[in-house]
């Protein structure tokens, strides 16, 4: 057993009783109901995350400690993204034209209570490890797939040897240009980022990792060190953050998180609205909150630190970007905009067909002119009509 897997096994919190013992029974007034909430999804808090909890109810606690509100289902769905409907063979979701999701691990170092895939994650029967062959064959057969995203669960909880086998097999598929891993290990278990792991991953470029940090406190020295090792191995790093009520739903927290990610060599990639998943609804914020956060980032900090804000559309519609309203009006003549300080600016449109005609540059009877007349330049920059070249004229007339 490796050091990291031993520590994960021996020092994680895996029961409510351990939480009670550590933080006090007064924080768990209705233990039987809480146990019910806990039983609905795998429960584990990794040692690194346990150490980060400063007090009950803080941003780290809220992400991992079961909550009675998980039992209040209003309009949450089990498979809100309809991933299972787009799964042609076990462990593969193929929704977008040129990329596919490949679930390779059922386990995570810590289980986030807001997990979109809580219907599957933690259950080896639902993310079967013995059925990869049909997934490989599907990827081999579908030559339109050029980008595969390994996810789970957390792929980086697989052993180095297993990762080497899986990624090595994927690399033999010629049309797979890009291989990506989605992993929260750099946050949950930074000690898992070892030189040996980096040596394996760096064999398979172009290889990307999208990690997942939700709060600035998660960028601990150990996490930053692990991210640096991955970056030194030549792996471009992105971050997918989930917008969570009571965790990061304010501008200052997000700004600090994005700045710290960038300083740790991670490019913020997405802020997701929390998905409409049953048992997760208490984490949802309004869309306006997300838009205010983007407004509070754009212009106020490096553009590199401003991720896309998206909703992964319920029912399998895919990621839809949301933007604050910077454009006030658009006419044929001009675009009226406001900058990040709210100050108004006007940008003049290039002249349209009507204004060119009004200015005598176009001859109106030609309506649509497919090309400039060629071969009539008389050497003075004018064509045979004495008009400047670049003015449109009926061809063959
Ligand atoms: S690490 Fe990812 S897959 Fe695992 S529980 Fe958290 S959100 Fe879900």
Domain that holds residue 44: 7-71
Which letter does DSSP use for residue 218 in this model?
G
**Residue 275: active-site member:** yes
- Quick check: is 187 in a domain? yes
Residue-by-residue DSSP string for 118-130: TTTTT-TTTS-TT
CATH at residue 231: 3.20.20.70
Distance between CA 361 and CA 345 in Å, rounded? 29
119 lines ligand 1 (CB under 6 A): no
- What Å distances lie between residue 113 and 68, 230, 284, 313, CA to CA? 11, 27, 12, 20
Same domain, 88 and 212: yes
Distance between CA 48 and CA 8 in Å, rounded? 9
Same domain, 240 and 130: yes
Residue with tokens 């089990």: 78
pLDDT on residue 82: 84
Same domain, 52 and 166: no
For the CA of 117, the closest atom of ligand 1 is: 8
Same domain, 29 and 112: no
- pTM across the whole model: 0.88
For the CA of 114, the closest atom of ligand 1 is: 7
Same domain, 62 and 122: no
pLDDT in tens, 78-106: 888 888 888 999 999 999 999 999 999 99
Spacing, Cα 67 to ligand 1 middle (Å): 17
Same domain, 42 and 105: no
| Listed residues 292, 324, 356: the one ending a domain | 324
Tell me which residue of 214, 184, 225, 211 sits closest to 60, measured CA to CA. Answer: 214
Parts of the chain with a pLDDT under 70: 353-357, 359-397
Same domain, 41 and 187: no
pLDDT on residue 58: 97
**Residue 117: active-site member:** yes
pLDDT in tens, 219-229: 999 999 999 99
- Quick check: is 396 in a domain? no
| Listed residues 324, 357, 372: the one ending a domain | 324
pLDDT on residue 355: 67
User: What is the domain count for the chain?
Assistant: 2
pLDDT on residue 122: 87
Same domain, 26 and 112: no
Tell me which residue of 52, 41, 47 sits closest to 10, measured CA to CA. Answer: 47
pLDDT in tens, 157-210: 999 999 999 999 999 999 999 999 999 999 999 999 999 999 999 999 999 999
- Quick check: is 384 in a domain? no
Distance between CA 135 and CA 91 in Å, rounded? 7
Q: Which two tokens stand for residue 328?
A: 């006030």
């Amino acid at each position: 057993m490796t050091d990291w897997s031993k520590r994960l096994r021996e020092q994680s919190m895996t029961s409510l009783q351990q939480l009670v013992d550590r933080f006090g029974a007064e924080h768990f007034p209705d233990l039987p109901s809480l146990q019910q909430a806990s039983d609905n999804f795998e429960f584990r808090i990794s040692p690194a995350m346990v150490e980060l909890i400063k007090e009950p109810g803080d941003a780290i606690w809220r992400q991992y400690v079961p909550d009675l509100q998980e039992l209040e289902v209003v309009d949450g769905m089990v498979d809100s993204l309809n991933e299972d409907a787009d799964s042609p063979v076990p462990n593969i979701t193929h929704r977008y034209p040129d990329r596919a999701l490949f679930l390779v691990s059922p386990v995570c170092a810590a289980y986030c209570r807001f997990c979109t895939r809580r219907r599957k994650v933690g259950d080896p029967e639902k993310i079967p490890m013995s059925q990869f062959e049909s997934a490989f064959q599907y990827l081999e057969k579908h030559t339109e797939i050029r980008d595969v995203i390994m996810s789970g669960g957390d792929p980086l909880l697989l052993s180095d040897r297993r990762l080497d086998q899986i990624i090595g097999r994927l690399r033999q598929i010629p049309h797979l240009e890009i291989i990506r891993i989605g992993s929260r290990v750099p946050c949950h278990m930074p000690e898992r980022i070892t030189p040996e792991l980096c040596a394996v991953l760096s064999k398979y470029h172009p290889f990307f990792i999208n990690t997942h940090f939700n709060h600035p406190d998660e960028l601990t020295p150990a996490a930053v060190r692990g991210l640096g090792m991955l970056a030194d191995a030549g792996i471009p790093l992105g971050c997918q953050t989930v917008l969570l009520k009571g965790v990061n739903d304010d501008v200052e927290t997000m700004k600090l998180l994005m700045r710290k990610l960038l300083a740790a060599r991670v490019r913020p990639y997405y802020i997701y609205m929390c998905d409409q998943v049953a048992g997760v609804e208490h984490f949802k914020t309004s869309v306006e909150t997300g838009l205010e956060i983007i407004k509070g980032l754009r212009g106020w900090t490096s553009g590199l630190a401003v991720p896309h804000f998206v909703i992964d559309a319920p029912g399998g519609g895919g990621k839809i970007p949301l933007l604050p309203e910077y454009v006030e009006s658009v006419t044929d003549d001009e675009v009226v905009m406001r900058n990040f300080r709210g100050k108004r600016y006007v940008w003049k449109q290039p002249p349209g067909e009507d204004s060119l005609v009004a200015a005598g540059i176009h001859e109106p009877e030609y309506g649509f002119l497919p090309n400039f007349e060629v071969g009539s330049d008389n050497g003075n920059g004018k064509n045979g009509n004495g008009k400047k070249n670049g003015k449109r004229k009926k061809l063959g007339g």
